[in-house]
Chain A
Amino acid sequence: MTTMNRRDALRLLGLSTFGVAALAACAPDATGGAATGDAAAKTFGFTSWSLNEAAQKAAVQAIVDAYAATNKVKIATASFPYNEYLNQVVLKLRGNQLTGAVQVDVAWLGALAAMGKLRDLGAQASAGGYTDVALSSGKFDGRQLGLPWTTGSIGLIANTELLTKAGVDGMPTTIDEFEAALGKVAKLGGGVVPYAAATKAAQLKDIFPWMQTFGSPLLSGDQVTIGDEPSVAAVEWYKKLYDAKLIAPDVDRFDARALFSQGKAAFYDDAIIARGVVASQSPDKALVQKMAPLSRPVLKAGDTPQALLWGHVIAVVEGEGADAAAEFARFATSDTATVADFFQKVQLPPTTTAGLADPKVAGDSFTTEWTEKITKTATANPFWRYAADAQIESAVAEQVQAVLVGNSSAKDALAKAAEAVEGLQK
């Protein structure tokens, strides 16, 4: 029989225990190293979805590199794709794996605020020279949880060349005119999608401005109005476009951008960043000149065009490197030369009075037109104030998708959506 003496065994056991202990020591710190007093910290993190997107990556990295070089600090960057970003950030925050500065879509601030780990950046906000509207996008429950990086809107963009080819004279201003224009574009053939509207669940929250266009407030006080007559009419109209192939199946924001960049879509929804994205993706270098923002068509003349207010902020996680990260966030969002240069590279409008007045920004006709036609009447999504906003948007999107693929009527689907949303209003 193979045997070993007790001393050898104990030695082996000791080594094993040491191995497990070493593994445990290498494991993430459960407290996340929640150090304080880090004004002199020379290292902090910066998490951003823009670092994952080809059109913005270089511009964001340039800001990071410039700040790191000037201030002699090391910034550890991390990024996730936009559609996976929120859940990755939530998981990392929950596991105390995320510190430093974090780019946050204004729609997600409620969810992240509920975790109680974001720093109040009131001091940086008051020193940044931000506009009031921009500052409000980073506020939650009266606390300044994010410094606004860009504030704009999501609206409709048209390819004027395709519209001219299709014989569409002037931009449509009502739903009827819009439908007629789509019909004319459809006749072009050649795989052109008249309106590359979102039809994948991941982006079907784009239906909200259409519901508002048809007259649904979505939320009245705390009362969910999804499922009311106007919202049902909006979804039935969307389904009509889907069945008539005026909008295409299987489209999210990235597909829509690809189609538009290839000259295969006459209209699509995007933020003002669209111009930078199309410029970087399109084989037609002149396409940018053919892009035109337009006010969302209204149900009847005289109605207010609907658009979704949109923007992103930089938040800072309490703990290691927070002071240094807060300074970086202030620099990235308010240093006039930096934000003007960033605007020139990616066309995201700045959020400070000085940044907006910079000739590079103020002299840009596309931005002026966008502000006039879309941002001017844009409103925030009323569900953003709930921590479960992302879940609310998914619940509605899934039901709208069920209508599009013929699994449900608009009325039944939106009744189900409303019930789901009511359960998520916490």
Chain B
Amino acid sequence: MRAGRLTNGQFAWLLMLPALALFLAIIAYPLISSVVTGFFEQSLVRPGRAFTGLANFADVLGGDFWPVLRNTLVFTAGATIVPFLIGYALALALNAGIRGSGLMRGLFLFPWVIPGVVVSFLWLWIFNANYGVLNGILLRLGILDAPVSWLGEPATAMIAVIVTKSWASFPWIMVMLLAGLQTMPKELHEAASVDGAGAIRRFISVTLPHMKGIASIVVLLEFIWNFQHFDTIYVLTGGGPAGATETFAVAVYDTAFKGFDLGHATALGGLWMLLLLVLVAFYLRHETKERS
């Protein structure tokens, strides 16, 4: 190589410099700053701060951390499994080549293109206890004697939130799985049929093993996204009633921006981030394994 010329590696670093500068400015700095804030008593409305060591973390762990973790896991599991099953079923149906599958594919994508906040307000109206569409229909059909407060009772609020999030996210899962199904060689199914395998046997022995890779990626990504999800829960219940749907995202937001308590909010956020890192590590490990 002649002197004065860059290697590919050097050139690559040069190209990355602007992105790195932005990363440092808008991701690394705020992240480090928020981790540090967790060790201070700091208010959003008062100037100054005081070092408190691990006190904020101890307060958080001795306070609502465990109920919030439980709620987050319930929401994450529900909002991952339900749309996954719906998306998988629809992907299989559309892949079977039934009439009108092209149109249906477009229609099913509709919930996915609507902004999350709009979806949440739509369902807020559907679930409203006093003038909601759901109660109106169920009362008219005689299924209910009295209106149910879907979002106002702890037993139903989490279900309502999961239903809403599932409605918004099943299309993406359906599209991903459908793409996976369409890469499956037809010969595999034909050979299994020749060997006498029925539809269920072919699904278990041919389709499932083929889809294992993409399905696990979809589930893992959905799980990570739902673990961080905010807008649906915040709009529908604000974490209520009585904390029944309060997940990490809502708890951190409320503590920081309604309670103005940056110290406790960032301590809770730090613990949340640690848990999230475990999930990300799983994802990266899975990715590496898939590639190799």
Q: Are B154 and A405 in contact (CB under 8 A)?
A: yes
User: B242 interface residue, CB < 8 Å from A?
Assistant: yes
Q: Which of A191, A249, A402 has the most CB of B within 10 A?
A: A249
Q: How far, in angstroms, from A310 to B213 measured CA to CA in the complex?
A: 60
Give, as a whole number of angstroms, the nearest-CB distance from A27 to chain B. Answer: 9
- Interface contact A2-B8, CB-CB below 8 Å: yes
**Complex: how many Å from CA A388 to CA B257?**
11
What's the least CB distance linking A110 to chain B, in Å? 9
Residue contact A112 to B45, C-beta cutoff 8 Å: yes
Task: Please tell me which stretch of B127-135, B161-169, B277-285 contacts chain A, meaning at least 4 of its Cβ atoms lie within 8 angstroms of it.
Answer: B127-135
Cross-chain contact B14 with A202 (CB below 8 angstroms): no
Size category of the A interface is 35 or more
**Across-interface contacts of A245 in B (CB, < 8 A):** 146
Do residues A2 and B130 form an inter-chain contact, with CB atoms below 8 A? no
Q: Are A249 and B1 in contact (CB under 8 A)?
A: no
* Chain B CB within 8 A of A199 CB: yes
Q: Are B146 and A391 in contact (CB under 8 A)?
A: no
Number of interface residues of B (CB under 8 A): 43
Contacts of A9 in B (CB 8 A): 6, 10-11, 14
B residues in contact with A90, CB < 8 Å: 44-45, 257, 260
Stretch at the interface among B17-25, B187-195, B217-225: B17-25
Given A16-B17, A201-B238: A115 and B45 interface contact (C-beta under 8 Å): yes
Q: A258 contacts which chain B residues (CB < 8 A)? A: 131
- B18 near A407 (CB under 8 angstroms)? no
Contact indicator A199/B152 (Cβ below 8 Å): yes
B111 near A: Cβ within 8 Å?
Answer: no
The answer to whether A87 and B258 touch (CB under 8 A), given A3-B7, A20-B18, A259-B131, is: yes
Docked Cα-Cα span, A408 to B242, in Å, equals 10
Q: Which residue numbers of B lie inside 8 Å of A, CB to CB? A: 1-2, 4-8, 10-11, 14, 17-18, 21-22, 25, 43-47, 128-131, 146-147, 149, 151-154, 238, 240-244, 254, 257-261
> 10 more A-B contacts (CB under 8 A) besides A24-B25, A250-B128, A405-B152?
A3-B5, A3-B7, A3-B11, A87-B257, A248-B130, A250-B129, A250-B130, A405-B154, A407-B154, A407-B242
Some 17 contacts from A to B, beta carbons below 8 A apart, are: A2-B8, A17-B18, A94-B44, A111-B45, A114-B45, A116-B47, A191-B147, A200-B238, A250-B151, A259-B130, A387-B46, A388-B259, A390-B259, A398-B242, A401-B241, A404-B242, A405-B242
- A: which residues have CB within 8 A of B? 1-6, 9, 12-13, 16-17, 19-20, 23-24, 87, 90-91, 94, 111-112, 114-116, 191, 193, 199-202, 245, 248-251, 255, 258-259, 262, 264, 387-388, 390-391, 394, 398, 401-402, 404-405, 407-408
